[in-house]
Amino acid sequence: MKSGKAVGPDDIPVEVWKCLGEAAVEFLTSLFNRVLENLEKAYDRVPREELWYCMRKSGVAEKYVRVVQDMYERSRTVVRCAVGQTEEFNVEVGLHQGSALSPFLFAIVMDQLSEEVRQESPWTMMFADDIVICSESREQVEENLERWRFALERRGMKVSRR
């Protein structure tokens, strides 16, 4: 890395990364692993009917909705562990793990959900499956959190407070 240059779109100078060294790499790795772990849990809970609805509401062409439906139709999986693996079983809810398309599909669902809820909140920030709600008072934050909880639960998902 050449000094005096930014390493990427973050515009953080190379000197900062050199100064932070291995500690920054460990922190970022830990952060990204937590984000991925949370995403997997969120992906597991997206109801398929909600996915089709959100795709259509987002303006995705019907032929592409049908292509994705075909990918998910009769999905089956096994669970592997140290002593072997289970029999195959149907997977009827959630997004495919490891699919390059899943983050996009999840974003479509969350975008539609946020359109419904965000109108009530003066400032909401979303990243992947994390939502930050800011408001004038604790009561307003609690009210907005309750709106999110209701909207998520209505769609078969849930809020996890950390």
Query: Residue 73: is its pLDDT beyond 80?
Result: yes
Query: pLDDT confidence of 162, banded at 50, 70, 90?
Result: low
**Model confidence, pTM:** 0.57
Phi-psi region of 2 (alpha: psi -120 to 50; beta: other; left: phi over 0): beta
137 dihedral zone (left: phi>0; alpha: psi -120 to 50; beta): beta
Per mean pLDDT, which range of 22-31, 68-77, 103-112, 121-130 is the poorest? 121-130
pLDDT score recorded for residue 2? 59
User: What per-residue confidence (pLDDT) applies to 158?
Assistant: 67
Please tell me the number of Cα atoms within 13 Å of 135 on its side-chain side.
Answer: 14
Please tell me the predicted confidence (pLDDT) of residue 61. 96
Residue 131's pLDDT is 67
